[in-house]
Amino acid sequence: VFALLALAALAGCKPESPTAAAPPATAPVATPQAATPKAVPPDTKFPSLQVRTLDGKAFDLAAQRGKWAIVNFWATWCGPCLKEMPELSALDAMREHIVVVGLAYEDTTEDALRAFLAKHPVVYPMALIDVYKPPADFDTPRGLPFTYLVGPDGAVVKKYTGPVSARMLEEDIAAAGGPKSS
């Protein structure tokens, strides 16, 4: 049993049980390595994101203009995703110029996701998205976690495949002309 658990841990973001839904075959999961930021061309159009969050409220990325937005695709069965959630939550709570939204990228129910989040609470809004129809202005995740850093003007500044940290995000915000962390 221990050997099987060790192999599962080394495999990265794999479903923990046969009943856990995995993303579609077009979205292999990332291994738990440091995220690699990728520069986005300046002519990239501003992404549109309008979702209903688990608390029944509407989240509109356009309404966040003026703030740095972190759009984080994740899943309950993804170990690196779970590891970054507390840092993203603290970043959202402690930095007035940053807003985080979590997009659960898995085939589950809202009730199951709410039960999971009761055990793994965060302060930022969460939405369950359709794995077969992700938001049109965002790439289909090729691995999880998959994160976007969107500038105050609505332009995508960076994309990350793999886990991110609060420090990494704050450094990238500062490098892109945002406030430096203290």
* Pick from 23, 17, 20, 16: nearest CA to 105: 23
Residue that the structure tokens 């495999």 belong to: 11
Bigger pLDDT: 168 vs 22: 168
Residues contacting residue 52 through CB under 8 Å, at least 6 positions apart: 58, 59, 127
Flag the least confident range among 27-36, 43-52, 145-154. 27-36
pLDDT for 13: 55
Bigger pLDDT: 76 vs 34: 76
Question: Residue 181: pLDDT band by 50, 70, 90 thresholds?
Answer: confident
| Cα 22 to Cα 16: distance, rounded to the nearest angstrom | 10
